[in-house]
């Protein structure tokens, strides 16, 4: 008999939430089989068994949040003898010294995940139509399961377009829900935000939503970064005229199925080259000393359905524009499908955040913990500019560098930003 404990699935993970069990008590488990889906501080991912045998007992139920190292299941010998007498119900208190599971009080909603989330709700167990088809579990992302529950949609009737036939958000959105679908359950806990009191309220009814693990982590880290890192900001205006022409030429010369680099891909590449030349911009201030990183890994902020996620382009300084574009699109798709893995979200040494596609001209971004700076990129605008005493049309873009003054000082930050501008204004250097 061996215990399966809450694994550490990311470098910053301290606890995890059981989203759904992919094996049930009595199932045979092989090494590498997906055993349980866990929500970490960075992503939702399936944990693969590292031992073979029979799943004899499930100790942590769906929706429970437990610290790393807490037992969540037991696996016995393949013949099942060691699991004789074990029940499929939740186990009693864990051994002395182990962190206890979170208390469940009648009338108190669970702290995770948000209400209405089918991936952590006791209302939809492993045998429900959305999870099983003839006894075989339907592969679907947690977001797809939640959307399907909200629509009253049976996942067994949906065809998945994700890896290995996995059902993703797009598949559920495209599927038609049955006309008799039950109404979406309210995310408002009983007794909260109901009718105004006799005194009335100017805000009307209040809807309470509990943030998921990722949103909690983002909130905590952004608050820590803003509180501990002395931010200062440098804004520069970049003439993107040649970059616009270069991208048009690349697009014209590309085949139908070729990936055409975006302007953001050009920014990522320009930053990667400049980071190699300015080591402090590719470092961090930690515990009273400077950390300078040998690899240039640029994080690219991607807006997911419920949070802002930053997947990483590793060794961006060593990759061409097309490769950066291909990798960025692939990992951004994973973020939106909910299938991105913690390793793909780790290891960033610098971040690029672009809101230009929303028409934002300029903004100040909050530095990610463990980095020295982040570049906020605005929209490319065609505006009049003075060139050699004449007013001419120009394609201008503003970029703002947020710096941690403990490691990256004003002059160094300005030099780094000027180098990024130089590379973008002469984009032929990006291909070298």
Residues 225 and 334 in one domain: yes
Residues 290 and 400 in one domain: yes
Residues 170 and 283 in one domain: no
How are beta strands 350-354 and 373-387 bridged, if at all?
parallel
pLDDT single digits (tens) 119-136: 333 333 333 333 444 445
Clarify whether 231 is annotated catalytic.
Answer: no
Asked if residue 120 belongs to a domain, the reply is no
Asked if residue 27 belongs to a domain, the reply is yes
Residues 281 and 168 in one domain: no
Of how many residues is the chain composed?
432
Domain containing residue 282: CATH number: 3.30.559.10
Q: CA-to-CA distance for 103 and 123, rounded, in angstroms?
A: 19
Residues 284 and 227 in one domain: yes
Asked if the model's pLDDT at residue 196 lies above 70, the reply is no
Domain containing residue 43: CATH number: 2.40.50.100
Which range has the worst mean pLDDT, 219-228, 247-256, 301-310?
301-310
Domain containing residue 179: CATH number: 4.10.320.10
Asked if residue 210 belongs to a domain, the reply is no
Q: What was the pLDDT predicted at 109?
A: 41
Asked if the model's pLDDT at residue 62 lies above 80, the reply is yes
Residues 373 and 260 in one domain: yes
Q: CA-to-CA distance for 387 and 213, rounded, in angstroms?
A: 51
Q: What was the pLDDT predicted at 164?
A: 64
Picking from 82, 113, 144, the residue at the C-terminal end of a domain is: 113
Residues 106 and 224 in one domain: no
> 377 or 65: whose pLDDT is higher?
377
Considering its fold, how many domains does the chain have in total?
Answer: 3
200 alpha-carbon distance from chain centroid: 40
Asked if residue 195 belongs to a domain, the reply is no
Q: What was the pLDDT predicted at 136?
A: 56
Residues 333 and 408 in one domain: yes
Q: What was the pLDDT predicted at 356?
A: 94
Asked if the model's pLDDT at residue 186 lies above 80, the reply is no
Asked if residue 200 belongs to a domain, the reply is no
- Segment 201-211 mean pLDDT: 85
Asked if residue 209 belongs to a domain, the reply is no
Asked if residue 198 belongs to a domain, the reply is no
Q: Hey, what are 58's tokens?
A: 């499930």
Which residues contact residue 11 at a Cβ distance below 8 angstroms, ignoring those fewer than 6 apart?
342, 346
Element (H, E) at 137: strand 136-137
Residues 308 and 248 in one domain: yes
Q: What is the mean pLDDT of the chain?
A: 80
Catalytic-role residue among 170, 231, 289, 405: 405
Asked if the model's pLDDT at residue 360 lies above 90, the reply is yes
Residues 161 and 226 in one domain: no
Apex CA 10: angle with CA 148 and CA 219, to 5°?
Answer: 70
Residues 179 and 262 in one domain: no
pTM of the model: 0.63
- Domain of 49 in residue numbering reads as 2-113
Given phi > 0 = left and psi -120 to 50 = alpha, else beta, which region is 338? Answer: left
Asked if residue 242 belongs to a domain, the reply is yes
Q: What was the pLDDT predicted at 78?
A: 64
Residues 391 and 279 in one domain: yes
Q: What was the pLDDT predicted at 345?
A: 87
């Amino acid at each position: 008999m061996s215990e399966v404990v809450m694994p550490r699935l990311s470098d910053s993970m301290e606890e995890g939430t059981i989203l759904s069990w992919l094996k049930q008590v009595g199932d045979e488990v092989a090494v590498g089989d997906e055993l349980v889906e866990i929500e970490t501080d960075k992503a939702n991912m399936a944990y693969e068994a590292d031992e073979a045998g029979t799943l004899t007992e499930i100790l942590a139920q769906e929706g429970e949040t437990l610290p790393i190292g807490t037992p969540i299941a037991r696996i016995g010998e393949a013949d099942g003898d060691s699991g004789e007498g074990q029940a499929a119900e939740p186990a009693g208190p864990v051994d002395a010294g182990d962190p206890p599971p979170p208390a469940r009080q009648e009338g108190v909603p669970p702290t995770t995940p948000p209400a209405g989330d089918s991936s952590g709700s006791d209302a939809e167990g492993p045998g429900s139509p959305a999870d099983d088809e003839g006894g075989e579990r339907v592969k679907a992302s947690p977001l797809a399961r939640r959307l399907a529950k909200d629509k009253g949609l049976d996942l067994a009737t949906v065809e998945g377009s994700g890896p290995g036939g996995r059902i993703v958000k797009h598949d559920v959105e495209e599927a038609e829900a049955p006309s008799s679908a039950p109404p979406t359950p309210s995310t408002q806990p009983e007794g909260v935000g109901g009718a105004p009191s006799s005194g009335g309220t100017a805000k009307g009814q209040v809807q309470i939503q509990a943030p998921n693990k990722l949103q909690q982590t983002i909130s905590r880290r952004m608050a820590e970064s803003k509180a501990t890192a002395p931010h200062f900001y440098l804004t520069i205006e970049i003439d993107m005229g040649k970059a616009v022409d270069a991208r048009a030429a690349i697009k014209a010369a590309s085949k139908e199925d070729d990936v055409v680099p975006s302007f953001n891909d050009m920014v990522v590449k320009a930053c990667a080259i400049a980071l190699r030349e300015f080591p402090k911009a590719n470092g961090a201030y930690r515990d009273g000393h400077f950390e300078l990183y040998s690899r240039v890994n640029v994080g690219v902020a991607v807006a997911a359905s419920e949070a802002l996620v930053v997947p990483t382009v590793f060794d961006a300084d060593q990759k061409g524009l097309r490769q950066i574009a291909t990798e960025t699109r692939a990992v951004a798709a994973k973020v939106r499908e909910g299938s991105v893995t913690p390793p793909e979200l780790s290891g960033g040494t610098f971040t690029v955040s672009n809101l230009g596609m929303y028409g934002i001209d300029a903004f100040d971004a909050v530095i990610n913990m463990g980095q020295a700076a982040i570049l906020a990129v605005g929209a490319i605008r065609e505006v009049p500019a003075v060139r050699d005493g004449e007013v001419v049309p120009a394609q201008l873009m503003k970029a703002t560098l947020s710096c941690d003054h403990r490691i990256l000082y004003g002059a160094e930050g300005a030099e780094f930003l000027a180098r990024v501008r130089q590379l973008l204004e002469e984009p032929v250097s990006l291909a070298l």
